[in-house]
Chains A and B, each alone.
Chain A
């Protein structure tokens, strides 16, 4: 059974008089443990697709199910719970809560998830070490580089072992070394922990890490191929 199933997704936005087809009959299956890159020009609908799968926005048409559960039919509360417990998010930038340290950022989400305090502490330390932030646990986001901040965001996204990590241009604000390190981390988490990744990007170097590359344009999927080079 497929992990995630998107069927005939449509979404239009109105900007003034213009009607923008952000998603135009998108159909997609994502298998558990897959490592997928979404690419396409600006405005092609990548963010919209990620938001839909993550239950952040409402579809005009179509259906999305994760493990057989219809995401598009859930109401706000259960959607929040779905995101909290089963989906990890990494956004382009400003991911972190600025007043909390790296460790507290990770612990905050775990606290909301209802993880007991001692376990929170242990897990957050372990995951920060795993993403390579050993010794930087008590720094605030402002005291971390862009790449380090994204690592904290990744740590926060995966600490409770979600089924799926949605990352929207996670490397956009990073230099190429940090971007490569982040992608290495993603690949390792995918290979060692079986986390499913769906990553939107403009970046050719990021796309090289993908097992499967989906190209979008004007809200449509224009190509969808398995890459052998990985």
Chain B
């Protein structure tokens, strides 16, 4: 340890109570920041994961332009064999080909416009939670042909239940008239009111026949085990479709632009709160270090008189602050990690969480995300602001006049 560092360390303990008080402010805010940030990112991960699990998957292969303008005609030729290729390339992932179009659905007494999606009944549960959310009847099976699963709200609107027949009317891929009669085999309750009102699923082969798809589909949904695996999966999928210029791979960011915006909005309001907290800590450091510099005026005067430049004294004050902030950071980080770890294992919920949970289809408990980043971010920023707060007291030393300083007692 250098002499200056040793000096700095001893200096901060000259007023140990004051140092502990300041360090406690740091520790408190660090614990809070570590936990809050971990919780926040944990909830985002969960929000993203749950939103994607519901229907879209983490990635989709689509015809270029389909995302912005989803027409039946912008389609993927031979969609089922491309899906098979993707399965081979991404053995860890689940892959489900789909076709989707707009149709009018009629029961005996009502008609609505809905989105009909042709799915592979066996693959769909791997990329979407809807098959598991069937509350009446059952989900589609491989043997089904003219069968349909509809949202619970749609069933209510149409006044139908399982076993009832519906008429679908639309236009096929070639512009021809498409029509068919299907039997409701189940209704699902996804928690997303849009989907429950306007989404229906039918077997992909039946869809392709009825809508004159000639083996085409509109998307292939890919689901991976965790968000972290998306980038690799995306790269692998991109290799598979390399020779097909008309196709693109979209990740969840492109599929759900609103999700990222919601997260960013939440983040910026959180940053504001954190900012206030950090500035308060900064002021406490400013106060402490200013006091500590002022009460040492005489001492610093003598040292300057010996020929020591103010720069060295300023660096001493910065080192003192850094040491104090390190103590606050080490203790705060450790305690924060303990608290976070507890909730990481046992889950965390708070009053009012239900509302959010419903909106984003979240489970009732959150699990803070413990990564190096979520742990270090808050304490790191606090550390920087503590140093920043000590700049003013340190700069004052450049104006120290040794004779005047030594005359003060």
Contacts and interface: CB of A to CB of B under 8 A. Distances in A.
Contacts, number: 59
A80 B307 contact: yes
Contacts of B303: 97
A81 B306 CA distance: 9
Interface in B360-409: 402-403, 406
B403 A56 contact: yes
A143 interface: no
Interface string B1-17: 00110110011001000
Contact of B7 (A56, A91, A100): A100
Contact of B307 (A84, A95, A97, A100): A84
Contact of A83 (B14, B307, B403): B307
A80 B299 contact: no
B302 interface: yes
A84 B7 contact: no
A112 interface: yes
Contacts of A97: 7, 299, 303
A83 B306 contact: yes
A95 B306 CA distance: 10
Interface string B106-125: 00000000000000000000
Contacts of B406: 91
A170 to B, nearest CB: 13
A47 to B, nearest CB: 9
Contact of A107 (B3, B10, B298): B3
Given A107-B3, A108-B3, A85 B299 contact: no
Given A94-B298, A94-B302, A95-B302, A112 B308 contact: yes
B302 A91 contact: yes
A144 interface: no
A42 interface: no
Question: Shortest 10 CB-CB distances between A and B: which pairs?
Answer: A84-B307, A83-B307, A99-B10, A57-B403, A80-B307, A56-B402, A56-B403, A112-B308, A80-B309, A51-B403
11 contacts: A51-B403, A56-B305, A57-B403, A80-B307, A83-B305, A83-B306, A97-B303, A99-B7, A109-B306, A109-B307, A109-B308
Interface of B: 3-4, 6-7, 10-11, 14, 298-299, 302-309, 312, 402-403, 406
Interface of A: 51, 54, 56-57, 77, 80-85, 87, 89, 91, 94-95, 97-100, 104, 107-109, 111-112, 156
